[in-house]
Amino acid sequence: MKDINIKSKSTKELDQIAQNIRDRIIEVVSCNGGHFSSTLGAVELTIGMHYVFDAKSDPFIFDVSHQCYPHKLLTNRWDEFSTLRQFGGLSGFTKPKESEADYFVAGHSSTSISLAVGAAKAIKLKGESRVPVVMIGDGSMSAGMVYEALNELGDRKYPVVIILNDNEMSIAKPIGAISKHLSKMLAGKTYQGFKEKVDLFLKKNFPDGTTYLAKRFEESLKLITPGLLFEEMGIDYIGPIDGHNIEEIIDTLDIARNMGKPVIVHARTTKGKGYKIAEGCHEHWHGVGPFDVESGEFIKKSSAKSATAVFSDKLLEMATKYENIVGVTAAMPSGTGLDKLINIYPDRFWDVAIAEQHAVTSMAAMAKEGFKPFITIYSTFLQRGFDQIVHDVCLMDLPVVFAIDRAGIVGNDGETHQGVYDISFLRFIPNMILTAPRDAKSLEYAIEFGYECKSPCAIRYPRGSYQTLEYEATPFELGISELLKEAQDDILFIGYGSGVSKAINTANLIDKDIAILDLKFVKPLDKQMLLKLAKQYTKWYIFSDSQASGGVGSAILELLAYESVTNINLTTFEYDDIFIQHGDTKDVEKDLGVTPEQIVKLITNNE
Res. 543: pLDDT tops 80? yes
- Give the mean pLDDT of 66-76: 95
Q: Are 18 and 44 in contact (CB under 8 A)?
A: yes
Which residue, 551, 427, 526, is CA-closest to 476?
526
Cα angle value 35/38/39 (rounded, 5°): 70
Q: Which fold does the domain 482-606 belong to in CATH?
A: Rossmann fold (3.40.50)
From the candidates 44, 356, 482, 574, which is the catalytic residue?
356
User: Would you state the pLDDT for residue 286?
Assistant: 83
Query: What is the pTM assigned to this prediction?
Result: 0.89
Q: How far is CA 329 from CA 308, 405, 558, in A?
A: 13, 11, 34
Res. 551: pLDDT tops 90? yes
Q: Rounded to whole angstroms, how far apart are CA atoms 525 and 308?
A: 26
Q: Rounded to whole angstroms, how far apart are CA atoms 467 and 43?
A: 41
Least confident of 262-276, 335-349, 360-374, 487-501: 262-276
User: Would you state the pLDDT for residue 545?
Assistant: 97
What residue ranges of the chain are covered by domains with CATH 3.40.50.920?
482-606
Res. 189: pLDDT tops 90? no
Quick check: is 271 catalytic?
yes
Superfamily of domain 11-170+226-288: Thiamin diphosphate (ThDP)-binding fold, Pyr/PP domains (3.40.50.970)
Name 243's Cβ contacts closer than 8 Å, sequence gap at least 6: 41, 42, 44, 45, 165, 166, 167, 249, 267, 268, 269
Query: What tens digit of pLDDT does each residue of 13-23 get?
Result: 999 999 999 99
Query: What tens digit of pLDDT does each residue of 221-264 get?
Result: 555 556 778 888 899 999 889 999 999 999 999 999 999 999 99
Q: Alpha-carbon Rg of the chain, whole angstroms?
A: 27
Q: How far is CA 576 from CA 97, 402, 427, 537, in A?
A: 21, 25, 18, 25
Which segments within 205-262 are labelled E, that is strand? 236-242
The pLDDT > 90 percentage for the chain reads: 78
From the candidates 271, 314, 348, 460, which is the catalytic residue?
271
From the candidates 384, 406, 438, 460, which is the catalytic residue?
384
Architecture per CATH, domain 307-460, reads as: 3-Layer(aba) Sandwich (3.40)
Query: What tens digit of pLDDT does each residue of 114-163 get?
Result: 999 999 999 999 999 999 999 999 888 888 899 999 999 999 999 999 99
Q: Rounded to whole angstroms, how far apart are CA atoms 151 and 155?
A: 6
Which residue, 554, 602, 286, 584, is CA-closest to 409?
584
3-state secondary structure of 143: coil
User: Would you state the pLDDT for residue 303?
Assistant: 74
What residue ranges of the chain are covered by domains with CATH 3.40.50.970?
11-170+226-288, 307-460
Least confident of 179-188, 301-310, 549-558: 179-188
Q: Are 75 and 53 in contact (CB under 8 A)?
A: no
Quick check: is 356 catalytic?
yes
Q: What are phi and psi of 542, to 5 degrees?
A: -105, 130
User: Would you state the pLDDT for residue 178?
Assistant: 46
